[in-house]
Amino acid sequence: MSIRTSLAAAAVAVVLAPVAAQAGPVLDQIKKDGKIICIVNPKSPGFSVPDAQGVFQGFNVDFCRMAAAAIFGDATKVDIRGVGFSDSLKTLVAGGGHMASRSITVTGTRDADPGLAFVTTTFFDGQGFMVPKATGLKSAKQLDGATVCAEEGSTTLLNLADWFGENKLKYKIENFTDMNARLQAFYSGKCDVMSNDFTALAANRQLADKPDAYELLPEMISSEPLSIVTRPDTELQKTLFWSFQVMLAADQFGINQKSIGDVVAKIGSQPAAVQRIFGDKGAATDMAAKLGIHPNWAVEIVKQVGSYDDVFERHLGLKTPLAIDRSKTPNRLAKDGGLLITYPIR
């Protein structure tokens, strides 16, 4: 064997040699502290709102618990903190949280920030308008001269400027950093219309004294991919990305929180793809060793939190106050014509 061949073989051996699991600095700190700190919207019905015991519940909150289930095998090992939008990204960058699951839109400038890492889109939304039914307005094209309540520091303001400019309509803005102040201004009549993501408007309407007195106009003026954001850490980002994929895969295979126990009990008779994810000797087990997370992470996510469909229907679906029909949104699996693609866990 030549020297060149020997060196090449040695190099290959180094690349292929098993590497001990080593968490990134943020994930390492999370494991040391025994909890993950997750930032959510302080008051967004359906997405994140404290229950009667003061415990946050909602669609976005469940992805905080997903992270804890993956890392610790225990979905309760999470410190969920309600933080206003304008402070949420600043809090992450400053180290006041490990992740945020609060309907944050991925944009180029945000993603370019070295202090942030956008991991995966959990909900595809778009910006719209809400008006009192008493106005009789049926289209956003009728909003010429309107005063709009909007959220300071969000993409909402830029989208409004683009849309009103393109449609040659005049408008005035009332900016509010505080959500309660914004809602009070709108519901008291200080603003003619409120603009936000469609789902946020649907949630805001539930906070009105008479929700039925308000309606959403049909126009969607932007694309809003709402995503989980973390402090930069490759292992943490991979953990959350693939945890979300586990929830989508469960959805894809028709597995949910109620059935996961039976699936695991009869894992030998399951399709190979299911065995790779939920079996104790499959790809998910190998991933856990490499990432340094709970060995049974995939099973615990579905058992303790659920599939994507479980989470959607529990908090946003037709049997909830928001009454969103998932089949009519982009938040369907790709196989059903939606935008949620399942990546292979193998």
Kindly report, residue by residue over 3-12, the tens digit of the pLDDT.
444 434 434 3
Q: How many domains does the chain have?
A: 2
Q: What is the pLDDT of residues 79-92, one digit of tens each?
A: 999 998 889 999 99
Q: What is the pLDDT of residue 3?
A: 41
Q: 196: which strand partners?
A: 128
* Cβ-Cβ contacts under 8 Å for 120 (sequence gap 6 or more): 227, 228, 240, 241, 244
CATH number at residue 165: 3.40.190.10
**Are residues 289 and 200 located together in one domain of the fold?**
no
Domain boundary residue, one of 205, 222, 239? 222
pLDDT, residue 21, reads 43
Contact 40, 81 (CB under 8 A): yes
Low-confidence ranges of the chain (pLDDT < 50): 1-22
Give a yes or no: residue 334 inside a domain. Answer: no
Do 102 and 29 reside in the same domain of the chain?
A: yes
Confirm whether 4 is domain-assigned. no
**Same domain, residue pair 208 and 193:** yes
Tokens of 331: 């938040």
Domain membership of residue 62 (yes or no) is yes
190 alpha-carbon distance from chain centroid: 32
Pair 63, 92 in one domain: yes
| Cα-based distances in Å from 259 to 21, 63, 74, 105, 299 | 31, 20, 19, 33, 11
Beta bridge partners of 171: 146
Domain co-membership, 306 together with 292 = yes
Do 28 and 116 share a domain, yes or no? yes
Domain that holds residue 162: 127-222
Domain boundary residue, one of 222, 256, 290: 222
Tokens of 162: 């683009």
Judge whether 337 lies within some domain: no
Between CA 341 and CA 338 the distance in angstroms is 8
- Quick one: pLDDT at residue 195? 95
Examine the domain organization and report whether 114 and 95 are in the same domain. yes
148 in the same domain as 207: yes
Q: Is residue 8 part of a domain?
A: no
Instruction: Tell me if 335 is assigned to some domain.
Output: no
Q: Is 277 exposed, middle or buried (0-12, 13-18, 19+ CB in 10 A)?
A: buried
pLDDT of residue 13: 40
Length in residues, the chain: 346
Same domain, 152 and 270: no
The reply to whether 210 and 271 lie within a common domain is no
In a domain, 15, yes or no: no
Q: How far apart are CA 130 and CA 163, in angstroms?
A: 16
Residues 243 and 216 in one domain: no
What angle separates helix 308-315 from helix 234-252, to the nearest 10 degrees? 80
Does 2 reside within a domain? no
Q: Judge if 238 and 109 occupy the same domain.
A: yes
Answer with the one of 222, 248, 269 that is the final residue of a domain.
Answer: 222
How far apart are the C-alpha atoms of 64 and 198, rounded to whole Å? 22
